[in-house]
Amino acid sequence: MRAPREYLDGTRNIIVGAVMLMILILTIALTIGLVFSIYDLIVDETPNHFEKEDILNAFSHLLLVIIGLELLDTVYGLLTEARLQVETVLLVVVTAVARELIVFDYEKAEGVMLASVGIVVAAVAMAYYLIRRARALTSDH
């Protein structure tokens, strides 16, 4: 007879596998969207075809693909090592924040929103720095 822990581990692995499959499908769809965005930029024959919005759209798709791949790596680590890699999660957050900063409409933003974005960037950078520093200190001993 199997122990309850084995059932929990099996169930967790099934759920994590399903999440990985969903992230993979979404990342493939985002990659297809990226290909179409780049294709539209290249084939468009209008005079000023490299419009700011079109380029930002392509970069947004690219960063979403990168976020999808990082999330896939994070969930895979959860499946294989049965623990969450905080550094990888923070890299996903940094990429997501970078994406938002790139596509952010600064002309229409209010001061409070700009300050909020700055605080989020500083907090994520500080968290990443502290985790890297803690890892370096523990590896020295």
List pLDDT tens digits, range 58-86: 888 899 999 999 889 888 888 888 777 78
| pLDDT score at 1 | 63
* Average pLDDT taken over every residue of the chain: 84
Look at the chain and report how many structural domains it folds into: 1
pLDDT in tens, 42-52: 887 776 667 77
> By residue range, what is the domain housing residue 33?
4-140
Residue among 90, 100, 99, 98 at smallest CA distance from 126 = 90
Q: Which residues contact 84 (CB under 8 A, 6 or more apart)?
A: 74, 77, 78
What distances in angstroms separate CA 16 from CA 3, 9, 25, 124, one per listed residue? 20, 10, 14, 26
